[in-house]
Each structure stands twice: as C-alpha cells, then as structure tokens.
Amino acid sequence: MRLSVLDQSPIISGHTPAQAVAATIELAVAAERLGYSRYWLAEHHSLAALADPCPEILATRVAAATSRIRVGTGGVLLPHYSPLKVAEQFRMLEALYPQRIDLGIGRAPGGDRTTAMAMGEGRYSGAEDFPEQVQFLVAYLDDALPAGHPFAKVKAQPAGPTSPAVWLLGSSDYSGALAAQLGLNFAFAHFISADGGDAVMRDYKRRFQPSPREARPQAMLTVFTICAATDAEAEHRAASIDLRRLNMDYGINAPVPNQQEADARQYNETEKARIAYNRRRLVLGSPATVKARLLALADQFEADELMVITITGDYRTRLESYELIAGAIDLHQPA
C-alpha cells in the first residue's frame, strides 16, 4: 500500500508561524527518508492554527529540500484564483522538479466567509464555476484548448514534455463525480467527513471516464492518524486535536493546543459527546492498531493509496507518529 503525508503546517501553542513552517520542512525531509510516496501541503487562510496560505510557494521549498518524494498541494483552492495563473505556477514547479509535482485542487474557501470575501476583494466567488475552472486549468497545463477557442494561443509557460499530476480533492460526492467525468485522480478527505466516503469512492471508480491524462481511476483516502508506542499513549496525545476540533466548533480562532493545555481542559457532558462524534474521523493507537485500521479503511474504500495527516500537541510526537506509521506499514519494502 502506497502511503503519503498531508501537512497543514500546524501552529502549536507556544510556537510561531515561522517555527511551524520550519517544522514542515523538517517533516518533509523525514518523510522522504521514511519511504512516504508524496508530501502534500494544505491551503488555509487567516487561521491562527495553520501557517500555510500558499502551498504552491511552500512546495518549492519542500521539493528543494528533498530529492525523490513527490511534492504537491492538498490543495490549491481554485475558486480563489485564475486557472491560467495556477497552470503557470505548476508548470514552473514541473520545470524545476520534473515528474515530482502533484497539483491537488479543492473548492473549499479555506477559512471563514469574511476571509473568503477578502480574498475576492469583497466578492465571495463560491464554487459555482469550479467545473469550468478545472477544465481550463487542465487545458492550460496540457496546451489542449481547442483551435477555435478565443484563448487557444495563450500558452502556460514554461512549457515542457511532462506535466504535474492532477488530483481533485473532496469530502462529498461532488468532486468524486466531477473527477470521474473529467477522467482525473480523486482523493477523499476522511479526516473531514467520516460519512459515506466509501460509496463516493466506489461511485467514482464505477463512473470513471478515461481521459488523455488518466486511462484508469486512481483513488486516494486521506485519514487523520495518531500513532504512539501504545494505544493508551496515542489516546493521551489525541487530547490536543480533540480540543482543537472543539475550538473550531465554538468558532475559536486559536493555535493548536499544546499537550499541557489539552491535559488541563475539563469537559462537560455535551462537549464529551461532541469529542466522541469527532473521533469518528480519527484513527489512533499503537502501530499494530493503526496498521490494522488503516488497511481496513483502504479495503472498505477500495483506495489505491493512503495519505495520513497527524497533528499532536508538539512537533516531536507528530514526527514520532509518522515514524511509527511508516514502520508499521513497512514502507521500505517494495510497493
């Protein structure tokens, strides 16, 4: 089973955003050493807990610090941007790091509505034009606009013989259906939605229409995972993300709670119930427990690849989680 990393560049309480970005570079280097296949960077805006609003820039630094692992975005939030400009950015990345670049595309705002309106200079673009934007983006990447199109002479530079891999990202049936229709790869965000994803993935594969880019469907499942030496220790380390998600439910824009803050928090019964509900989006435990659960999810979702995202109350235990997962799945063995 191919296994990869999604990094949201978390800002853990007591650390600066610059330290969060530095931790991303450190983790990327470790991920390559450990045998992970891809390293994707997420896009978020105006959030005190997440440091990366421009994954296309950070991808350049990650690719420079590594030599083999594929580097990409999970993802560029296309409704905010011009498809041509995104195509130019990723053609540049492909020229710098040929056959190592993934372009993951999402349609979420990546922040609250006010921030989304600020991104649009007072207008909230929504995602109504997302299918057309994706088609234009792919056409610019591949120089494939029809000869009679008004923009047919527009070329996304630097041109070259290879092109970034394109993935549509989603946590519902919308992007899965679009990826199938356009013949693109698809990644489902189990860490966002624990409901119905297996049906979405199966439907994507059943409805897939081959395209000049992809002859067959490729489906990836992204899972929030915390691994520690024992189930009990993993449970302890999950307290930080429990509180982080509860803060999100309350609309609290704050850094990721560190372990000490999470340990000190007391919960009422309603909050405990909410934490239990959010735990459905989390795989945690010892290496053996995590391996069994991840492989079971891969089988349930008919996933061709798995991607894991880990956030804990400090950067040391986050790195340790990825190390233990890699050892459990035995990434150094041939796929």
pLDDT digits (tens, 9 = 90+) for 147-193: 999 999 999 999 999 999 999 999 999 999 999 999 999 999 999 99
- Alpha-carbon dihedral angle through residues 126, 307, 191, 109, given to the nearest 10 degrees: -20
Over range 282-311, report the average pLDDT. 98
pLDDT reported for residue 128 = 84
Tell whether the model's pLDDT for residue 126 goes beyond 80.
no
User: Are the beta carbons of 292 and 284 closer than 8 angstroms?
Assistant: no
Closest CA to 202 of 297, 302, 295: 302
pLDDT reported for residue 159 = 95
Q: Find tokens 């995202």 and name the residue.
A: 309
Tell whether the model's pLDDT for residue 114 goes beyond 70.
yes
pLDDT tens-digit profile of 3-18?
999 999 999 999 999 9
* Tokens, residue 89: 């950015």
User: Are the beta carbons of 127 and 79 closer than 8 angstroms?
Assistant: yes
How many residues does this entry show for the chain?
Answer: 335
Residues 6+ apart with CB under 8 A from 215: none
User: Are the beta carbons of 20 and 37 closer than 8 angstroms?
Assistant: no
pLDDT tens-digit profile of 206-253?
999 999 999 999 999 999 999 999 999 999 999 999 999 999 999 999
pLDDT reported for residue 333 = 46
Which domains does the chain show, CATH number per domain?
2-329 (3.20.20.30)
pTM recorded for the entire structure: 0.96
In the DSSP assignment, the letter for residue 12 is B
pLDDT reported for residue 332 = 60
In angstroms, rounded to a whole number, what is the distance separating the alpha carbons of residues 215 and 204? 14
pLDDT tens-digit profile of 85-100?
999 999 999 999 999 9
Over range 256-278, report the average pLDDT. 97
pLDDT reported for residue 323 = 97
